[in-house]
Amino acid sequence: MANTRDIRRRIKSVKNTAQITKAMQMVAASKMRRAQQAALAGHPYSQILNRALVSLRDMVSADSHPLLEVRPVKKALVLLVTSDKGLCGALNTNVLREAALLDKDATEFVASGKKGASFLARTGRKMIADFALTDNPTFLQTKAISKFCLEKFLSGEVDRVDVLYPKFVNTLVQKPTQITLLPITDEKAAGVSSSGGDKVATETMGAQFLFEPDADEVLDSVLPYYFHFEVFQMILDARASEQSARMVAMKSATDNAKGLVKDLTLEYNKARQASITTELLEITTAQMALA
């Protein structure tokens, strides 16, 4: 049976760990709320952007813009969004498993997040850029990333741009998702990111827009914004996923630690009781021997 002092020491250390994981859980919870709010704050922007795209759609022919042009895919670019830090359960592992399935030779990677970058380096994949982001990325920061991808696409170096990121489904579920962003497919620009595209369309119906200088030029400036914004939203989404995965992981770590403390306490009490019993036994034996 283990020494009571050893057990006591162990209990103490597990309790300390529990305290740390508990603190991390709380921090992650508040960061998750902030990340979700940041994602929601983009809603008015996307609404207006969608409205503009709906109005523009009728004005220009669909394949008149290089960003809309579907080319045979010789090389694809994948923007791999992961977290910088670990301790967030299987979040990064799941995303990287998807990344591992991609064709090694026909895919170039742009990494955002240290975990993804080190994975790419480790497995010898072609990483053409690595962007570091803060916990609360701003639009201007993510724009640097999306601009980079955009230029690769426009220059013809790659024929498709995908994003692979942990999509936030709910607090417990984050699904690794791969979405093609470029070329901007017709139904996406038309379907207008699911939320009430038709309603928006009717709202502006009848308003015949004047475009200055002309529709093509305006489309030229609006479409990149659409792309920049999509990337921004996905990165925010990945942040929310990261924090909620961390929160859940830390919660289960805290629960585990608590269970362990309970078991160890039981063990400790047993050991203590055993030692008392032996001691009593010794005393009585000694007394009997004396008598």
By the rule CB under 8 A, 134 interacts with another protein: no
Residues in Cβ contact with 116 at an 8 Å cutoff, skipping those fewer than 6 apart: 80, 81, 82, 92, 95, 96, 99, 109
Radius of gyration of the chain (CA): 28
The least distance separating another protein from the CB of residue 6, rounded to whole angstroms, comes to: 54
By the rule CB under 8 A, 291 interacts with another protein: no
Q: Which amino acid is at 122?
A: R
Residue ranges of E strands in 2-123: 76-81, 107-112
DSSP string, 166-204: EEE-SSS-EEEEEEEEES--HHHHHHTSSTTHHHHHHHH
Positions marked active-site: 88
Closer residue to another protein in complex, CB, 211/270: 211
The least distance separating another protein from the CB of residue 43, rounded to whole angstroms, comes to: 9
By the rule CB under 8 A, 217 interacts with another protein: yes
Which of the 8 DSSP states describes residue 213?
S
What CA–CA distances, in Å, run from 125 to 75, 100, 182, 263?
13, 9, 21, 46
Count the residues of the shown chain that bind another protein, applying the rule CB under 8 A.
35
Closer residue to another protein in complex, CB, 109/268: 109
- Which listed residue (61, 134, 170, 208) binds another protein by CB under 8 A? 208
d(CA 110, CA 130): 6
By the rule CB under 8 A, 140 interacts with another protein: yes
Q: What does the per-residue mask of binding to another protein show for 82-111, with x meaning CB under 8 A?
A: ------------------------------
Residue (of 164, 153, 157, 163) closest to 92 by Cα position = 164
Closer residue to another protein in complex, CB, 40/280: 40
By the rule CB under 8 A, 56 interacts with another protein: yes
- Which listed residue (204, 275, 277, 278) binds another protein by CB under 8 A? 204
The least distance separating another protein from the CB of residue 22, rounded to whole angstroms, comes to: 31
- Which listed residue (21, 36, 55, 254) binds another protein by CB under 8 A? 55
- Which listed residue (103, 105, 187, 212) binds another protein by CB under 8 A? 212
**Buried residues in 251-281 as b, exposed as e (16+ CB within 10 A):** bebbeebeebbeebeebbeebeeeeeeeeee
3-state secondary structure of 207: coil
By the rule CB under 8 A, 119 interacts with another protein: no
Q: How many CB atoms lie within 10 A of CB 74?
A: 11
The residues with which 261 forms a beta bridge, in sequence order, are: none
The residues with which 178 forms a beta bridge, in sequence order, are: 164
Q: What does the per-residue mask of binding to another protein show for 13-52, with x meaning CB under 8 A?
A: -------------------------x--xx-xx--xx-xx
By the rule CB under 8 A, 232 interacts with another protein: yes
Instruction: Note the residues at the interface with another protein (CB under 8 A).
Output: 38, 41-42, 44-45, 48-49, 51-52, 55-56, 138-140, 143-144, 147-148, 151, 204, 207-213, 217-218, 221-222, 225, 229, 232-233
